[in-house]
Amino acid sequence: MPVTVRFAPSPTGNIHIGNVRTALFNWLYALKHDGQFILRFDDTDTARSKQEYADQIAADLDWLGVKPHRVEYQSKRGIAHDAAVEKLKQSGRLYPCYETAEELDRRRKIRLTRKLPPVYGREALKLTAEEKAAYEAEGRKPHWRFLLPNYAETPFETKRTEVHWDDVVRGRQTVDLASMSDPVLIREDGTYLYTLPSVVDDIDMGVTHVIRGDDHVTNTGAQIALFEALGADAPAFGHHNLLTTTTGEGLSKRSGALSISALREAGYEPMAVASLAVLIGTSEAVAAASSLEAMAATFEPSSSSKSAAKFDPAELDVLNRQIVHGLPYEAVAVRLADAGIDTNDPRTAAFWLVVRGNVEKVADAAAWWAIVTQGPADEAALEGDDLDYARTAFSLLPEGDVDASTWSTWTGAVKEATGRKGRALFMPLRVALTGKTSGPEIADLLPLLGREGILARQP
Ligand code: GLU
């Protein structure tokens, strides 16, 4: 069977770098195994799900280079979910319960004082038809639990029932179904919790690998039992570690600044975000990858550590710089134009290669474009001896066209005439030409300024 994975966000907010880790683990797994990637919106919570969030998630993934082979919405699959419910009811695996939250809480406390595990005791299975009718007459509506296969003779005497899976990230995992409560699949108001639609859709969509955050490890045992109760083989599972903020808090859809849209708007490169989202918290060195395809070739889900990884925005800056410094002009031309740079100017391509090593983000090149085309920045100025020196030096600019060799000819003449060398020689010229004390090689800037531009900067 071809590998089929799914990324299943609830469209209730913008996705952040932690969600992208899940999306990319799935995407890279699919790429590596020549498989299919489904973007599945888990939008059964109709009150909180919004199409605009779904659209934004799709746009964020596209920006990162994730191109789903299929897009599905759980909200459109009610008929399949209802059919699965019927099947479970018929096989006696789904049963109605009438307890209120307070009643459940009271029972849990009693079990704890008796040193019993605080799992649901299946009291609802003992209700007679009359008792159920009486509850219904009172106006109570049932919620429905899935009867876990963790007993031999009677559901009231559970026995250790191990479920195993070979997690593609964490290795062999074992859970005991007797240690957990029968999960509620349907709420009192008839709406589904996440478990049933997710399993039904995974079956119908042919999902072979469920790769997601390790906050879902505890759901997996019951889900495997549900796959089997619905007559399907459970897929393989992989649970990666989660990302937290530098102070250890979990990321949430409310961590606005770390949303993918915010990172994109702040000018980060998609491959910087993708490289960090995947490599952080693994045994691989965090380095900027050139493409998702290149990343897929070496992607090894089992290299993730088991503990949470801290996402540090400073690491993103380092990766971003590495990437920007190597970007060819063709990759940035559109964005340079967006940043106000005249890409019809014949100097623009050369300009980018000269300044790219001195910017953090592509759009920062606009400040250098202003220096080249309009005049020096006002960050540094010359005074005293340096001012006199610079005036002399400018008068020694070699005649003729300015090219790659001009700087060396010019500084040779300046050295001979003034006796200055090193920093004392070049810094006043840098300041006069750019209004800054650091920046691209002056030798490379001179041809962009041209003779006129240089002389216009004579102090
Ligand atoms: N919608 C679920 C979530 O966002 C999907 C979990 C899963 O991948 O099974 O947590």
- Note whether residue 96 is domain-resident: yes
**pLDDT tens digits for 350-401?**
999 999 999 999 999 999 999 999 999 999 999 999 999 999 999 999 999 9
Among 340, 373, 406, the domain-final residue is 373
Domain boundary, last residue among 373, 403, 429: 373
93 and 164 in a single domain? The answer is yes
Question: Is 76 part of a structural domain of the chain?
Answer: no
94 shares its domain with 172: yes
The three-class DSSP label of residue 287 is: coil
- Within-domain flag for 251: no
Task: Using most ligand atoms within 8 A of CB, pick from 10, 29, 212, 223 the residue to mutate for ligand 1.
Answer: 212
Kindly provide the residue ranges of all beta strands, DSSP E only, lying in 202-258, ordered along the sequence. 209-213, 236-240, 243-244
* Residue 304 falls inside a structural domain: no
Residue 193's closest CA among 179, 182, 205?
A: 182
Ligand 1 and 9: CB distance under 6 A: yes
Query: Ligand 1 centre from 10 Cα, in Å?
Result: 7
Question: Over the stretch 43-56, which tens digit does the pLDDT of each residue have?
Answer: 998 899 999 999 99
Classify residue 199: in a domain, yes or no.
Answer: no
> Cα(278)–Cα(152) distance, rounded to whole angstroms?
44
Domain termination residue (choose one: 154, 179, 204): 179
Assess whether 394 and 367 both reside in one domain. no
Same domain, 345 and 411: no
Asked if residue 214 belongs to a domain, the reply is no
Assess if residue 356 is contained within a domain. Answer: yes
Residue 421: give its domain's CATH number: 1.10.10.350
Residue-range definition of the domain harbouring residue 425: 384-455
401 in a structural domain: yes
The finding on whether 434 has its CB within 6 A of some atom of ligand 1 is no
Q: Is the CB of 40 under 6 A from ligand 1?
A: no
Q: 30 near 3, Cβ under 8 Å?
A: yes
Cα→Cα distances 395→22, 214, 398, 455, Å: 62, 68, 9, 9
Tens of pLDDT, residue by residue over 86-121, are 999 999 999 999 999 999 999 999 999 999 888 999
Q: Is 212's C-beta closer than 6 angstroms to any atom of ligand 1?
A: yes
Could you tell me if the CB of 201 is within 6 A of ligand 1?
A: no
Answer whether 0.85 is exceeded by the pTM: yes
Number of domains in the chain: 3
Rounded distance between C-alpha atoms, residue 30 and residue 37, angstroms:
6
